Structure 1
Amino acid sequence: MTIGDLPLIGRWLQTPAVREWWIDANGQPADPIGEDNLDDPDVAMWIVSSRSSPFAFIQDYDPHAWPDHHFGHLPLRSRGIDQFIGVQELLGYGHDPAFITAYVDRLHTGGAPVIGTDPHPTNARAIRAYQKAWFQSKEERLTECGPCFLMEHAKRAE
């Protein structure tokens, strides 16, 4: 993701399906993704495209970069992920599990032993998408980010 993608991300963050779940610990809209986020060495952000058409956002981060993070128990080099589809017309067609699976495979190939994600416990669409991408349900927990349903994807033995 580049600085040129920020207006697109800003528009996507205003769509109802994204705004409902991209929230802070108090249930309020999360801070917008800005230029300062692009410079964070512990986070990698990407625009997901199909046929040169951008339709989604995904990021991965080092959970060990934050003290007491709820994925701090994962082995070193593990990553956390967050994602959303920004083009509302593409919701409900199975795109989430497809690009999540491809991205998780890429992270595992790069050396990440476990990938964690933490959708809101009532976000059934996200939980189903992660389950279809082979994430295992762990537990519901109140975290520093608010209520989360913790899920993990371990690298498969080859």
Structure 2
Amino acid sequence: MTAYAFRPMSADDLPTIRRWLEAPHVSEWWHDPAEQFEIVSGDLDHPDMAQFIVAADGQEFAYLQCYNLSAWDSGFGSQPDGTRGLDQFIGEASMLGCGHGSAFVRAFADGLLVSGTPRVVTDPDPANTRAIKAYERAGFRRDRVVETPDGPALLMMRDQ
């Protein structure tokens, strides 16, 4: 079984994040790499945003952000106090299609739920069937399509 590690992201990781955002398999869903880089790097010191570099058996391959849902106008409607939102991508193309996405998202969400987070939500593009299937394998259930500041998204959630 693969061991996943979640290391807090630092400014030293920004060149890697830029490279990953520019990869076609990431920009397909995260869109404009320059704009996304500004957002991600700008959130580095935000008190309601935790950003991580994900490693599998010591190899860094993915980005994950976990945020306090109440700090953003997400369009998700009323959620329990303490709900956390997740966004992630696999940056290294060689790690795609191996089951890592669902496995590390499940591991991270399990940790949040065990530590008392009442709900974890995510919001993939409704057309991103690969992400939706990965989130379902990670234990998330489909709720409804919501209108977010970035357009329509499928709200998915896991509860304690």
Normalising by structure 2, we get a TM-score of 0.88
Which of 80, 95, 99 does residue 100 from structure 2 map onto? 95
Q: Does residue 90 of structure 2 align to residue 82 of structure 1? A: no
Q: CA deviation at 1:31?
A: 2.6
Residue 25 of structure 2 is matched in structure 1 by 17
1:55-92 C-alpha deviation (Å, 9 max, x unpaired): 001111011012x4323511011100000000001111
Superposition pairs of residues 31-42 of structure 1, within 5 angstroms: 31-32=36-37, 33-34=40-41, 36-42=42-48
The amino acid across from 1:57 in the alignment is Y
**Which one has the bigger helix percentage?**
2
CA distance in 2, matches of 1:72, 1:138: 11
Q: CA RMSD for the aligned pairs?
A: 1.3
Residues 56, 87 of structure 1: 8 Å contact kept: yes
Identical counterparts, % of pairs? 44
Q: CA deviation at 1:151?
A: 0.5
Normalising by structure 1, we get a TM-score of 0.89
The amino acid across from 2:135 in the alignment is Y
CA distance in 2, matches of 1:62, 1:54: 25
Residues 3, 38 of structure 1: 8 Å contact kept: yes
Q: Does residue 44 of structure 2 align to residue 44 of structure 1? A: no
Residue 143 of structure 1 is matched in structure 2 by 148
The amino acid across from 2:56 in the alignment is S
CA distance in 2, matches of 1:78, 1:109: 13
The amino acid across from 1:9 in the alignment is I
Residue 123 of structure 1 is matched in structure 2 by 128
1:106-150 C-alpha deviation (Å, 9 max, x unpaired): 111222110010000000110000000110101112221211011
Residues 48, 56 of structure 1: 8 Å contact kept: yes
SS at match of 2:85: strand
Query: Would you identify which runs of 4 or more consecutive aligned residues in structure 1 move more than 4 Å?
Result: none
CA distance in 2, matches of 1:127, 1:31: 21
SS at match of 2:131: helix
Residue 56 of structure 1 is matched in structure 2 by 62
Number of aligned positions between the proteins? 149
Q: Does residue 2 of structure 2 align to residue 2 of structure 1? A: no
Residues 121, 158 of structure 2: 8 Å contact kept: yes
* Structure 1 residue ranges without an equivalent (≥5): none
